[in-house]
Amino acid sequence: MLPMTVLVGPAGRLADRLNRKALVILGNLIYLITVALIPLANTFGQQLWLCFPRAIGGALSMPAATALSVEEGRKFGMGSTMSILMMAMSIGMVLGPTLSGVIADSVDINAVFYFGGAVGLIGTGLFIWFTR
């Protein structure tokens, strides 16, 4: 969280200047790849180094996604749009750990990270499809 905290301000300025959709896609791809690589990191140092590109991915995508939500809010109502964004994030915060626990118990802990990367890839694909 610390690297992301440092990077989110400059990334927000990028989201004001560059293509927001491209930033969301790039940030998501960086993030999902690093999540899928977690099982391959065997030492604490390797795990720590994976945090940095993951922070970059999160910092790139979140301000851009939020700015896109604001654009939609101008068309459909700000409160309604933000509540849908918050609802989607809340569903992810409930389903993510629950499904991860089921996968870890059923398969193994490494499968959780591969599953997370796959879900991120599917979500990014859906984002591309619905924002074309």
Residues 102-125 have pLDDT tens digits of 999 999 999 999 999 999 999 999
Neighbours of 76 (CB within 10 A): 10
Is residue 8 packed enough to be buried (19+ CB in 10 Å), middle (13-18) or exposed (0-12)? middle
Q: What is the pTM of this model?
A: 0.89
Position 94, amino acid: V
The per-residue pLDDT for range 39-93, each reduced to its tens digit, is 999 999 999 999 999 999 999 999 999 999 999 999 999 999 999 999 999 999 9
d(CA 54, CA 29): 10
The contacts of residue 76 (CB under 8 Å, 6+ apart) are none
Contact by Cβ (8 Å): 16, 25 = no
Give me the torsion for CA of 66, 69, 73, 78, rounded to 10°.
Answer: -40
